[in-house]
Structure 1
Amino acid sequence: MSNSDASAILTTADLSEAIRAVRTLLDMADIRQGEVDFEALIRSPDVLEHVCDVLPDLEWSASAGKEDGSSEAGDNPADCLPIRVFDWGRPLDRAEPFIAALGPDPAAVRWDLDAWLAVPEAGLEEISQKYAYLTLSVNSRDLYQSEPSQDHTVHVHARNRNGDQIARVHWLADQVGGRFTGRVERAPL
């Protein structure tokens, strides 16, 4: 298992602004074989219903622990609320419907990219799949939903052997009208 550094580049109360930023950043990445991963804390039956419409075979466990219910055990998630979602490797087109289904519940949606593309005019080389990720924290400021908030934060993960991580983070932030806040979280991948 490896780790990545997730740098916060945009925090906004406007979810549509955060989604526009994500779309802009995805346009700067190689996403041909990309996937999306979901982590969330679902507390309400209404949100659960909407999320299950988007991801019918949702992977989850009871917030109190797997012994109190899980998809693995075939339990009914509605009987186990609140639940934690850890659902990985979904098609990219599931991301925005999942975000729309969340209502006020916190989540992290991570796009696993094939690469951050080279930007020769900025002196940035391509960054391989191993370090090319993008995360949107919805209704939370952090990757793990431990800082619930009414705003949303876009994080970029970028690292390569030549050490242009900070230059890449600043460049990506500039492209979406954000700025690197200096806040970096360690993200297990």
Structure 2
Amino acid sequence: MSNSTAAAVLTTTDLPEAIRAVRTLLGLADIGHGEVDFEAVIRSPDVLEQVRHVLQDLEWWASAGKEHGSSKAGDNPADCLPIRVFDWGRPLDRAEPFIAALGPDPAAVRWDLDAWPAVPEAGLEEISQKYAYLTLTVNSRDLYQDEPSRDHTVHVHVPNRDGDQISRVHWLAEQVGGRFTGRVESAPL
């Protein structure tokens, strides 16, 4: 197992602004075989209903403090709130409907890209699929929903091993009108 560095390149209270930034970054990336992954903490029946409309066969289990409840056991998630959602490998077109369904609940939406392409004019080589990810945290500042907030953060992922990858983070931040503040998290891949 390896890790990437997830660098925050834009934090905003304006969710449409964060989504526009994600769209811009997806337009720069190679997404031919891309997928999207979801992690969330769902607390309310209304949000649960909206999320289940987007992802009918939702993968979930009861949050900490609950000893039972999961999609694998066939339980009713409404009886187990709050629940944690870990749903992987969905088509890219599920991301924005999922985000719209969240309301105030925290989540991380991660796009698994084919590559961050080379940018010769910036001196950047291609980053392969193994390290090419983009994450939007919604109502949370961190990748794991441990730091709930009223804002949303766009993170770009680069390999841990290359110190020169910070140049790519700065370049990607510039493309969306953000800036790299030095806030990073290690993200298991």
Structure-2 separation of matches of 1:162 and 1:136: 23
Query: Runs of 4+ in structure 1 displaced over 3 angstroms?
Result: 160-163
Q: Which residue of 1 aligns with 2:53?
A: 53
Aligned counterpart, 2:73: 73
- Distance change (3 Å), C-alpha of 1:140 and 1:122: same
How many residue pairs end up in the alignment? 189
Identity of aligned residues (%): 86
Residue 186 of structure 1 pairs with residue 186 of structure 2: yes
Tell me the residue number matched to 2:83.
83
Hey, what does 1:19 align to over in structure 2? 19
Structure 1 residue 158 displacement after superposition: 1.4
Partner AA of 2:85 in structure 1? V
The answer on 1:8 being equivalent to 2:8 is yes
Q: 1:35 to 1:66 in 2, by over 3 A?
A: farther
Distance 1:64 1:160 in 2: 30
Deviation at 1:64, TM superposition (A): 2.5
Aligned-pair CA distance for 1:162: 5.7
Q: CA deviation at 1:4?
A: 1.1
Where does residue 120 of structure 1 map in the other structure? Answer: 120
Does 2:76 correspond to 1:64? no
Match of 1:109 in 2: 109
Q: TM-score scaled to structure 1, two decimals?
A: 0.97
- State the shift of 1:160 in Å: 7.8
User: How many angstroms apart in 2 are the aligned matches of 1:66 and 1:133?
Assistant: 32
Q: What are the superposed Cα offsets for residues 23-73 of structure 1, whole Å, 9 maximum, x if unpaired?
A: 000011000000000000000000000000000000000003674100010
Q: Give the TM-score taking structure 2 as reference length.
A: 0.97
Q: Give the structure 1 partner of residue 96 of structure 2.
A: 96
Please give the alpha-carbon distance, in whole angstroms, between the structure 2 residues aligned to 1:159 and 1:84: 27
Letter in 2 for 1:46: D
1:161 CA displacement:
6.5
- For the residue of structure 1 that corresponds to 2:89, the secondary structure is strand
- Give secondary structure in 2 for the equivalent of 1:27: helix
* Separation (CA, whole Å) in 2 of partners of 1:164 and 1:66: 44
> Secondary structure of the residue that 1:9 maps to in structure 2?
strand
- Whether the aligned pair in 2 keeps the contact of 1:127 and 1:160 (CA below 8 Å) is no
Paired residues of 1:31 and 1:115 also in contact (CA < 8 A): yes
* Unmatched 5+ stretches in structure 1: none
Distance 1:34 1:185, change over 3 A: same
* Structure 2 CA distance for aligned equivalents of residues 27 and 80 of structure 1: 39
In structure 2, relative to structure 1, the CA distance for the partners of 1:150 and 1:159 (3 Å cut) is same
Q: In the alignment, is the contact (CA less than 8 A) between 2:112 and 2:132 conserved in 1?
A: yes
- In the alignment, which residue of structure 1 is the partner of 2:146? 146
Q: Residue 7 of structure 1: SS of its match in structure 2?
A: strand
Q: Which residue number in structure 2 is paired with residue 159 of structure 1? A: 159
The answer on whether the counterparts of 1:173 and 1:180 sit within 8 Å (CA) in structure 2 is yes
Partner-residue secondary structure (3-state), 1:136: strand
Residues 87 and 181 (structure 1 numbering): CA distance in 2 closer, same or farther, change over 3 Å? same
